[in-house]
């Protein structure tokens, strides 16, 4: 955990030192462009790799009663048997994290009622679902809000989003709730790994690193907006020059180093993305446990790497051995004299 924190701090420190020392075009232009290229290339490579992998068996996870006799009610979305059901299931999974919603926590009780002794009890556990959902949606909204730096004039949906986000009108610049919730949700997701002993045991560097990286991005972003501000008109000039591939290095010189720390951390996230567990963003679409219909009793699932079958039908068999069979007096579908015709 501390190694990944140190890594993130190191990346931030390098970006800070670099942009103060005058390499702001390196951290502001070259690195983000390279990171975006790595991100897009890496993710496409991932998707092609997944799409080339055969699915030998029909392996959807079942979350309820499968399709059976007419009088048994089927859980149509948790155990879909049709393509439409799969689409609904995928929608619920991707937009509402349905499988996390079903999360339970197990606990052993010394005295279970009705059990005459110890027994296991399962509680519904919605914390992870709640904070995961908050994190993902706030992150999406924060990303969308950043389009005010990419587009001129600022589209009305961004302004509308900002109005709703800052509706409490706290402070100047107005406090955006999504930023605060994003940080809180990330701290929960980190705290979960730190304070839950079982989770801590299975958490590795590649679990902590994305969390610290995201916390770093959110903290520098919040800092840039509320505490150590830089001139955003200049930031917009610079960002629009970069997205149009004609970087404005004069603007880059006058932007605070903290902005480049923010940008470098985002670039690190983008470049790290395709090689980490964060690929679940696209991996969820490719999961055979989610995107297959549970219809293995109705539709034959053919393993794509099965070799082509060598069939030898009875007609061919009889054609091959007809004379010998006739000699042995075996019954034939076609007599030798008729087959010769």
Which residues make up the interface to another protein (CB under 8 A)? 36, 39-40, 43-44, 47-48, 51-55, 147-154, 158-159, 162-163, 169, 171-174, 229-234, 236-237, 239-241, 243-244, 248, 254, 256, 282, 285, 304
> Nearer Cβ to another protein, position 103 or 291?
291
The kind and range of the H/E element at 249 are helix 249-253
Under 8 Å between Cβ of 112 and 144: no
Min dist CB 171 to another protein, Å, is: 7
CA triple 86-89-95, angle to 5 deg: 135
Min dist CB 82 to another protein, Å, is: 16
> Nearer Cβ to another protein, position 27 or 131?
27
Min dist CB 270 to another protein, Å, is: 9
Min dist CB 183 to another protein, Å, is: 21
> Nearer Cβ to another protein, position 23 or 285?
285
Min dist CB 156 to another protein, Å, is: 10
Min dist CB 260 to another protein, Å, is: 15
> Nearer Cβ to another protein, position 54 or 114?
54
Under 8 Å between Cβ of 231 and 255: yes
> Nearer Cβ to another protein, position 233 or 324?
233
> Nearer Cβ to another protein, position 116 or 169?
169
Dihedral over Cα of 269, 273, 278, 284: its sign: positive
Give the relative orientation of helices 177-195 and 127-145 as an angle to the nearest 10 degrees: 140
């Amino acid at each position: 955990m501390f190694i990944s924190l140190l890594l993130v701090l190191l990346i931030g420190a390098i970006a800070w030192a670099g942009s103060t020392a005058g390499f702001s075009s390196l951290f502001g232009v070259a690195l983000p462009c390279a990171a975006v290229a790595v991100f897009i290339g890496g993710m496409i490579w991932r998707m092609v790799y997944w799409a080339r992998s055969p699915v030998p068996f029909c392996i959807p996870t079942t979350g309820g009663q499968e399709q059976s006799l007419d009088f048994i009610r089927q859980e149509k979305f948790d155990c879909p048997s049709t393509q439409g059901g799969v689409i609904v299931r995928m929608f619920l999974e991707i937009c509402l994290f349905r499988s996390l919603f079903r999360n339970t926590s197990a606990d052993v009780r010394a005295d279970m009622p009705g059990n005459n002794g110890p027994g296991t009890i399962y509680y519904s556990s919605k914390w992870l679902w709640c904070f995961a959902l908050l994190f993902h949606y706030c992150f999406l909204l924060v990303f969308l809000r950043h389009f005010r730096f990419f587009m001129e004039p600022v589209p009305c949906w961004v302004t509308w989003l900002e109005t709703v986000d800052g509706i409490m009108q706290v402070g100047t610049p107005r406090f955006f709730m999504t930023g605060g919730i994003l940080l809180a949700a990330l701290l929960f997701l980190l705290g979960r790994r730190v304070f839950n002993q079982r989770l801590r045991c299975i958490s590795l560097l590649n679990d902590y690193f994305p969390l610290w990286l995201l916390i770093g991005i959110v903290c520098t972003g919040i800092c840039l907006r509320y505490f150590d501000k830089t001139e955003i008109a200049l930031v917009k000039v610079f960002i629009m020059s970069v997205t149009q591939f004609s970087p404005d290095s004069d603007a880059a010189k006058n932007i605070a180093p903290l902005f480049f720390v923010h940008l470098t951390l985002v670039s690190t996230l983008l470049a790290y993305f395709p090689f980490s567990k964060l690929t679940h963003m696209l991996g969820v679409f490719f999961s055979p446990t989610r995107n297959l219909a549970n219809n293995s009793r109705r539709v034959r699932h053919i393993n794509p790497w099965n070799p082509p079958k060598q069939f030898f039908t009875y007609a061919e068999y009889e054609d091959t051995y007809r004379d010998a069979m006739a000699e042995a007096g075996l019954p034939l579908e076609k007599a030798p004299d008729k087959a010769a015709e």
